Amino acid sequence: MYHILEALRQHQNLEPAIAWARTHSAVLEARGSNLEYDLCRLQYIKTFLHSGPVAALQYARTRLSRFPKYLQQTQELMGALAFIPDLARSPYANLFSESASDPTHTASNAFTSEFCALLSLSSASPLLTAVTAGCIALPTLLKLSQIQQAHRTSWTTASELPVEVPLPSAYQFHSVFVCPVSKEQSTDMNPPMMMPCHHVICAESLERVSRGGKFKCPYCPAESVPADAVRVFL
Protein backbone atom coordinates (compact mmCIF):
# COMPACT_ATOMS: atom_id res chain seq x y z
CA MET A 1 0.00 0.00 0.00
CA TYR A 2 2.74 2.47 0.94
CA HIS A 3 4.67 1.63 -2.25
CA ILE A 4 1.62 2.53 -4.35
CA LEU A 5 0.91 5.65 -2.28
CA GLU A 6 4.49 6.81 -2.78
CA ALA A 7 4.05 6.42 -6.54
CA LEU A 8 0.83 8.44 -6.37
CA ARG A 9 2.02 11.24 -4.12
CA GLN A 10 5.67 11.59 -5.00
CA HIS A 11 5.74 10.69 -8.68
CA GLN A 12 2.13 11.30 -9.82
CA ASN A 13 2.16 7.73 -11.16
CA LEU A 14 -1.27 6.11 -11.30
CA GLU A 15 -0.25 2.85 -12.99
CA PRO A 16 0.63 0.85 -9.81
CA ALA A 17 -2.74 1.74 -8.28
CA ILE A 18 -4.55 0.86 -11.52
CA ALA A 19 -2.73 -2.49 -11.68
CA TRP A 20 -3.74 -3.25 -8.09
CA ALA A 21 -7.36 -2.30 -8.74
CA ARG A 22 -7.44 -4.49 -11.86
CA THR A 23 -6.05 -7.45 -9.91
CA HIS A 24 -8.77 -7.04 -7.28
CA SER A 25 -11.50 -5.92 -9.69
CA ALA A 26 -13.87 -8.77 -8.78
CA VAL A 27 -13.76 -7.99 -5.06
CA LEU A 28 -14.04 -4.25 -5.64
CA GLU A 29 -17.02 -4.72 -7.95
CA ALA A 30 -18.72 -6.91 -5.35
CA ARG A 31 -18.26 -4.08 -2.86
CA GLY A 32 -19.81 -1.60 -5.30
CA SER A 33 -16.52 0.27 -5.62
CA ASN A 34 -15.71 2.33 -8.71
CA LEU A 35 -12.04 2.75 -7.79
CA GLU A 36 -10.62 1.14 -10.95
CA TYR A 37 -12.66 3.33 -13.27
CA ASP A 38 -11.91 6.49 -11.30
CA LEU A 39 -8.18 5.77 -11.50
CA CYS A 40 -8.36 5.12 -15.25
CA ARG A 41 -10.40 8.32 -15.67
CA LEU A 42 -7.69 10.27 -13.86
CA GLN A 43 -5.06 8.66 -16.07
CA TYR A 44 -7.05 9.66 -19.17
CA ILE A 45 -7.23 13.28 -17.97
CA LYS A 46 -3.53 13.29 -17.12
CA THR A 47 -2.70 11.85 -20.55
CA PHE A 48 -4.90 14.47 -22.21
CA LEU A 49 -3.19 17.36 -20.39
CA HIS A 50 0.40 16.17 -20.75
CA SER A 51 0.48 14.07 -23.93
CA GLY A 52 -2.30 15.56 -26.03
CA PRO A 53 -5.75 14.49 -27.27
CA VAL A 54 -4.46 11.80 -29.65
CA ALA A 55 -2.73 9.89 -26.85
CA ALA A 56 -5.81 10.37 -24.64
CA LEU A 57 -8.07 8.99 -27.36
CA GLN A 58 -5.86 5.93 -27.73
CA TYR A 59 -5.91 5.40 -23.97
CA ALA A 60 -9.71 5.66 -23.90
CA ARG A 61 -10.01 3.03 -26.63
CA THR A 62 -7.77 0.55 -24.82
CA ARG A 63 -8.69 1.20 -21.17
CA LEU A 64 -11.98 3.07 -20.70
CA SER A 65 -13.80 0.84 -23.18
CA ARG A 66 -13.53 -1.93 -20.58
CA PHE A 67 -16.14 -0.17 -18.40
CA PRO A 68 -19.57 -0.25 -20.10
CA LYS A 69 -21.16 0.47 -16.73
CA TYR A 70 -19.71 3.99 -16.81
CA LEU A 71 -20.61 4.75 -20.42
CA GLN A 72 -22.14 8.15 -19.64
CA GLN A 73 -19.05 9.37 -17.77
CA THR A 74 -16.82 8.12 -20.59
CA GLN A 75 -18.97 9.91 -23.18
CA GLU A 76 -18.48 13.17 -21.28
CA LEU A 77 -14.71 12.69 -21.36
CA MET A 78 -14.78 11.94 -25.07
CA GLY A 79 -17.17 14.79 -25.80
CA ALA A 80 -14.63 17.25 -24.48
CA LEU A 81 -12.42 16.47 -27.48
CA ALA A 82 -14.75 18.57 -29.62
CA PHE A 83 -13.79 21.66 -27.60
CA ILE A 84 -10.00 21.25 -27.86
CA PRO A 85 -9.33 24.71 -29.35
CA ASP A 86 -10.98 26.42 -26.35
CA LEU A 87 -11.40 23.74 -23.69
CA ALA A 88 -11.09 26.25 -20.83
CA ARG A 89 -14.41 27.84 -21.83
CA SER A 90 -16.19 24.56 -22.56
CA PRO A 91 -18.72 22.76 -20.31
CA TYR A 92 -15.96 20.22 -19.57
CA ALA A 93 -13.36 22.68 -18.27
CA ASN A 94 -13.70 21.46 -14.67
CA LEU A 95 -13.00 17.87 -15.75
CA PHE A 96 -9.65 18.75 -17.28
CA SER A 97 -8.25 21.19 -14.77
CA GLU A 98 -4.83 20.51 -13.26
CA SER A 99 -6.35 19.88 -9.83
CA ALA A 100 -8.74 17.30 -11.32
CA SER A 101 -5.81 15.22 -12.57
CA ASP A 102 -3.77 15.45 -9.35
CA PRO A 103 -3.81 11.96 -7.73
CA THR A 104 -2.35 13.31 -4.49
CA HIS A 105 -5.79 14.46 -3.34
CA THR A 106 -8.25 12.63 -5.54
CA ALA A 107 -6.91 9.08 -5.66
CA SER A 108 -4.78 8.54 -2.56
CA ASN A 109 -7.62 8.61 -0.03
CA ALA A 110 -9.90 6.44 -2.15
CA PHE A 111 -7.16 3.88 -2.78
CA THR A 112 -6.18 3.75 0.92
CA SER A 113 -9.80 3.28 1.96
CA GLU A 114 -10.40 0.40 -0.47
CA PHE A 115 -7.06 -1.27 0.28
CA CYS A 116 -7.75 -1.27 4.02
CA ALA A 117 -11.36 -2.34 3.53
CA LEU A 118 -10.23 -5.49 1.71
CA LEU A 119 -8.14 -6.32 4.79
CA SER A 120 -11.04 -5.45 7.14
CA LEU A 121 -9.01 -2.58 8.56
CA SER A 122 -9.83 1.06 9.14
CA SER A 123 -8.04 3.49 6.86
CA ALA A 124 -7.52 5.84 9.81
CA SER A 125 -4.90 5.32 12.49
CA PRO A 126 -6.43 3.33 15.40
CA LEU A 127 -4.43 5.40 17.89
CA LEU A 128 -5.67 8.67 16.36
CA THR A 129 -9.25 7.38 16.36
CA ALA A 130 -9.07 6.32 20.02
CA VAL A 131 -7.46 9.56 21.18
CA THR A 132 -9.92 11.74 19.24
CA ALA A 133 -12.94 9.81 20.53
CA GLY A 134 -11.55 10.08 24.06
CA CYS A 135 -11.12 13.85 23.73
CA ILE A 136 -14.73 14.17 22.54
CA ALA A 137 -15.98 12.10 25.49
CA LEU A 138 -13.79 13.81 28.10
CA PRO A 139 -16.10 16.81 28.89
CA THR A 140 -19.05 14.46 29.47
CA LEU A 141 -17.01 12.22 31.74
CA LEU A 142 -15.65 15.21 33.69
CA LYS A 143 -19.19 16.47 34.27
CA LEU A 144 -20.20 12.97 35.41
CA SER A 145 -17.29 12.92 37.86
CA GLN A 146 -18.36 16.27 39.31
CA ILE A 147 -21.95 15.06 39.78
CA GLN A 148 -20.74 11.86 41.46
CA GLN A 149 -18.58 13.83 43.86
CA ALA A 150 -21.43 16.21 44.69
CA HIS A 151 -23.85 13.35 45.37
CA ARG A 152 -21.20 11.02 46.81
CA THR A 153 -22.00 8.24 44.36
CA SER A 154 -19.70 5.91 42.45
CA TRP A 155 -19.54 4.37 39.00
CA THR A 156 -20.50 0.72 39.48
CA THR A 157 -20.82 -0.55 35.90
CA ALA A 158 -17.69 -2.30 34.67
CA SER A 159 -18.46 -2.99 30.99
CA GLU A 160 -20.29 0.17 29.89
CA LEU A 161 -20.41 3.91 30.47
CA PRO A 162 -23.10 5.19 32.85
CA VAL A 163 -23.96 8.04 30.47
CA GLU A 164 -24.37 8.34 26.73
CA VAL A 165 -21.42 9.86 24.90
CA PRO A 166 -22.52 11.23 21.50
CA LEU A 167 -19.81 10.64 18.90
CA PRO A 168 -19.80 11.73 15.24
CA SER A 169 -20.79 9.10 12.71
CA ALA A 170 -17.14 8.72 11.65
CA TYR A 171 -16.41 7.23 15.09
CA GLN A 172 -19.37 4.83 15.18
CA PHE A 173 -18.21 1.46 13.88
CA HIS A 174 -21.00 -0.85 15.05
CA SER A 175 -24.58 -0.58 16.20
CA VAL A 176 -25.56 -1.07 19.85
CA PHE A 177 -28.85 -2.80 20.66
CA VAL A 178 -30.60 -1.98 23.92
CA CYS A 179 -33.28 -4.47 24.97
CA PRO A 180 -36.65 -2.67 25.31
CA VAL A 181 -37.63 -5.07 28.12
CA SER A 182 -34.56 -5.19 30.38
CA LYS A 183 -33.11 -1.83 29.21
CA GLU A 184 -29.67 -3.50 28.96
CA GLN A 185 -27.26 -3.53 26.04
CA SER A 186 -26.89 -6.80 24.19
CA THR A 187 -23.66 -8.78 24.43
CA ASP A 188 -22.20 -11.91 22.84
CA MET A 189 -23.56 -13.89 25.79
CA ASN A 190 -26.94 -12.11 25.61
CA PRO A 191 -27.54 -11.48 21.88
CA PRO A 192 -30.65 -9.86 20.39
CA MET A 193 -33.29 -12.32 19.25
CA MET A 194 -35.93 -11.63 16.60
CA MET A 195 -39.36 -13.25 16.67
CA PRO A 196 -41.57 -13.90 13.62
CA CYS A 197 -43.49 -10.69 14.40
CA HIS A 198 -40.14 -8.87 13.87
CA HIS A 199 -39.95 -7.56 17.42
CA VAL A 200 -36.44 -7.91 18.87
CA ILE A 201 -35.49 -8.45 22.51
CA CYS A 202 -32.44 -9.91 24.24
CA ALA A 203 -32.07 -13.64 24.79
CA GLU A 204 -32.35 -13.33 28.59
CA SER A 205 -35.60 -11.37 28.29
CA LEU A 206 -36.87 -13.94 25.80
CA GLU A 207 -36.24 -16.70 28.30
CA ARG A 208 -38.26 -14.86 30.93
CA VAL A 209 -41.34 -14.71 28.68
CA SER A 210 -41.04 -18.32 27.52
CA ARG A 211 -43.62 -20.86 28.56
CA GLY A 212 -43.37 -24.55 27.82
CA GLY A 213 -40.76 -24.16 25.10
CA LYS A 214 -42.75 -21.42 23.35
CA PHE A 215 -42.29 -17.66 23.31
CA LYS A 216 -44.93 -14.95 23.39
CA CYS A 217 -44.07 -11.44 22.24
CA PRO A 218 -44.70 -8.88 25.00
CA TYR A 219 -45.44 -6.15 22.42
CA CYS A 220 -48.08 -7.66 20.16
CA PRO A 221 -51.06 -10.01 20.53
CA ALA A 222 -49.43 -12.67 18.40
CA GLU A 223 -49.77 -16.25 19.52
CA SER A 224 -46.90 -18.09 21.12
CA VAL A 225 -44.33 -19.41 18.67
CA PRO A 226 -42.02 -22.45 18.90
CA ALA A 227 -38.47 -21.94 20.08
CA ASP A 228 -37.01 -22.86 16.68
CA ALA A 229 -38.95 -19.98 15.07
CA VAL A 230 -36.90 -17.42 16.99
CA ARG A 231 -33.54 -16.56 15.48
CA VAL A 232 -30.51 -14.57 16.50
CA PHE A 233 -30.58 -11.06 15.07
CA LEU A 234 -27.02 -10.10 14.13
Kindly report, residue by residue over 153-173, the tens digit of the pLDDT. 666 656 666 677 888 877 776
What does DSSP assign to residue 224?
P
Burial class (CB in 10 A: 0-12, 13-18, 19+), 23: exposed
pLDDT range class, residue 83, cuts 50, 70, 90: confident
Higher model confidence: residue 168 or residue 230?
168
User: Which uninterrupted H or E stretch holds 8?
Assistant: helix 2-11
What does DSSP assign to residue 178?
B
pLDDT range class, residue 30, cuts 50, 70, 90: confident
Bridging pattern class, strands 210-211 and 214-215: antiparallel
pLDDT range class, residue 3, cuts 50, 70, 90: very high
Structural domains of the chain, with CATH: 2-118 (no CATH), 124-172 (no CATH), 174-234 (3.30.40.10)
Helices (H) and strands (E) in the chain, counts: 10, 6
